Chains A and B, each alone.
Chain A
Amino acid sequence: MARKSFREAINEALRLEMRRDPRVIVMGEDVAGGMGAAGEQDAWGGVLGVTKGLMPEFGRERVLDTPISESAFIGAAVGAAATGLRPVAELMFIDFVGVCLDQILNQAAKLRYMFGGKATMPLVIRTMYGAGLRAASQHSQALYPIFTHIPGLKVVIPSSPYEAKGLLIRAIRDDDPVIFCEHKMLYDEMEEVPDEAYTIPFGEANLTREGEDVTIVAIGRMVKFANEAADRLAARGVTCAVIDPRTASPLDEETILESVKETGRLVVVDEASPRCNLATDIVALVATKVFGALKAPAAIVAPPHTPVPFSPALEDAYVPGPARIEAAALAIME
């Protein structure tokens, strides 16, 4: 057990699983770096260094740098998963899903079903999402609702280093296709993380704060902000239960519904664009299943319906933060 960053926790998960199972491979653009070049090998270890050190340990046969051809290498990861390997492919930015959506939507998600159960798809696609890095519209989106919508996919959105390691190991051991969404602003977050391998189950939400007045459901990086808001609210006498679903698909509906039955008030914090995001899905779930328990309308804290802007002043106004969450909770307390 030691304090490790989100980045290190993910690296460790990959390393431990690659040691345990020779069928696990890592593939993607610059996951090592320097392929075919005269200078340093393992030059990048991933664009933000998450996969650094894997190629020196496991070699270029199990850590594959690919050409910039998402449809080919994500599709190859799908085919490899169906034929005996357990690939962890990297879609460098979730925004790039446009050029390989078919491979995920129509192939990975559906082969098992269309083939009557006679295919397995032990595939993990790791991908970076989220705003805050001033990377602008095409490198800052939170597109996990699109994957959540697709039957056949599992969608995991870890909120902290401890969560990331356990959920990624679980994803690698899963025989279904998992989209593992890493918020790029979380990579430097630190937390106590066990040295050994461990798994966190899918479909089990985590309660990060206990409380009786408001249920706050938060996704990914928003869990941290929801915790901060909850601590500020507790000082004002409003106690909040903060729920981190961990996995958008499968979704732990029971924990959310039980909590809303206790508190009667719901705030959902979701960084994804507001039309058809996870917050709308969760509010619909609550409204259809436990409407009678609600003492106030549900509140959604989400960005505006715009692309992610470049200028820091604008991006900071775009991303939801603790202040907006606190205000939303107080508003429904009245």
Chain B
Amino acid sequence: MELSREQLLDAYRYMRTIREFEERIHLEFATGDIPGFVHLYAGEEASAVGVCMNLGARDYIASTHRGHGHCIAKDCDVGAMMKELYGRRDGLCGGKGGSMHIADMSKGMMGANGIVGGGPPLICGAALSAKILKTGGVAVTFFGDGGFNQGTTLEAMNFASACKLPAVFVLEDNGYAESTASAWSIGGGDPIKRAAGFGLVGHSVDGHDFFAVCQRARELIEYARAGNGPSFLHVKFIRYYGHFEGDACTYRAPGEVAAARSERDCLKLFRDRVTAMGVLQPPQLDEIDTEVVRLIGSAVAAAKEAPLPDTADLMTHVYGSY
């Protein structure tokens, strides 16, 4: 597929930013400074970035509880995101949402969702708006292998199909729904067939391969934008961390993550490919690495110093007016 040098640099930067964000959160969370739950996306970057590189300002996405990656890939402000995780007043959601509900409607990011399967119906709504208001927009929902068994997701697929909505359903299959293997929990064992049962055109891709994800995502997004209706993308990969931070992950086979990090790291695979093709040079990528580390470092420092919400903020934004 054709991607310009700028686009390749952007892709790398997005993925690297997500990786650094998540790795840093992993460390900070362990100190006890970050309240609540966090669910880390490290290892899955190629999915969020591969899909979202094909989306624009008029397109909406909905995410899962594992939402930092989608948020960054949809151009949300990293500093504000970090403050949100720390519950600060100037966080992306004013400290009112936290990691599980991180969102920015102005960027078309309809939020991480604390309810498994919460996203797909919402995105059907965004697709409905696009269709009726004729914005030309497309709506993409990410859900996990766990969410793929939730009634809301299945109903949403049927609904999008019956109403021929400009939607893309992206199954991020990282092998585990919490501690339960997707190989067992997905009845019928064949996500593409399941999606086809609802009338959705579907494809499977290696989620560690940015280029494969990006290519397929582009096809399906254009398919939707052209008015052909919804489609399905099955992204297969591994998450490096547990379901949540604090998960001992004893359900995983020993060495599983180490192997993935050394052999299937999407960032390494990307770097190897673009340098082998001679399109980008290692120093350019190294420079991005350095900038990203600095970006995330200052985001954490700023978040730790940032003011907390006032008690009065408790009462705001329940309604527009009451």
| A interface residue numbers (CB < 8 A to B) | 23, 25, 61-62, 64, 66-67, 69, 71-85, 87, 99, 102-103, 106-107, 110-120, 151-152, 154, 174-176, 203, 250
Contacts and interface: CB of A to CB of B under 8 A. Distances in A.
A81 B111 CA distance: 15
Contacts of B133: 23, 84-85
Given A112-B318, A112-B319, A152-B319, 11 more contacts: A61-B132, A75-B152, A76-B121, A80-B128, A82-B126, A84-B129, A102-B152, A107-B113, A107-B118, A112-B317, A119-B105
Interface centre among A81, A114, A154 (most CB of B within 10 A): A114
B184 interface: no
B158 A83 contact: no
Interface centre among A79, A81, A84 (most CB of B within 10 A): A79
Given A61-B132, A62-B132, A203 B322 contact: yes
Contacts of A76: 121-122, 124-125, 128, 156, 159
Contacts of A78: 121-122, 125
B123 interface: yes
Nearest to A81: B125
A46 to B, nearest CB: 19
| Size bin of chain B's contact surface | 35 or more
Given A80-B125, A102-B115, A107-B118, A116 B318 contact: no
Nearest to B320: A175
A9 B84 CA distance: 46
A117 B315 CA distance: 11
Nearest to B125: A79
B124 A113 contact: no
A110 to B, nearest CB: 8
Interface stretch (B33-41, B87-95, B209-217, B220-228): B87-95
B120 interface: yes
A80 B137 CA distance: 13
Contacts of A116: 91-97, 317
Contact of A115 (B111, B118, B158, B322): B111
26 contacts: A23-B133, A61-B132, A64-B163, A66-B163, A67-B162, A69-B155, A71-B156, A76-B125, A76-B128, A79-B129, A83-B60, A84-B129, A85-B129, A102-B118, A113-B96, A114-B97, A115-B97, A115-B104, A115-B105, A116-B96, A116-B97, A119-B103, A120-B320, A175-B321, A176-B319, A250-B322
A176 B319 CA distance: 6
A80 B60 CA distance: 11
B106 interface: yes
A79 B128 contact: yes
Given A112-B318, A117-B317, A74 B110 contact: no
B66 interface: no
A148 to B, nearest CB: 13
Contact of A72 (B92, B124, B139): B124
* Top 10 A-B residue pairs of the complex, sorted by shortest distance between their CB atoms: A75-B121, A79-B125, A116-B94, A79-B122, A80-B125, A72-B155, A117-B317, A72-B159, A116-B93, A76-B124
Interface of B: 60, 62, 91-97, 101, 103-106, 110-111, 113-115, 118, 120-126, 128-130, 132-133, 135, 139, 151-152, 155-156, 158-159, 162-163, 316-322
B124 A152 contact: no
Contacts of B104: 115, 118
Contacts of A120: 320
B124 A75 contact: yes
B83 to A, nearest CB: 11
Contacts of A103: 121, 152
Contacts of B123: 79
Given A76-B124, A76-B128, A66 B159 contact: yes
Nearest to A102: B115
Contact of B156 (A75, A87, A152): A75
B140 to A, nearest CB: 12
Contacts of A110: 101
Nearest to A73: B159
A169 to B, nearest CB: 16
Contacts of A79: 60, 62, 110, 121-126, 128-129, 139
Contacts of A81: 125
B158 A117 contact: no
B125 A77 contact: yes
A18 to B, nearest CB: 12
Contact of B105 (A74, A80, A82): A82
Nearest to B123: A79
Nearest to A80: B125
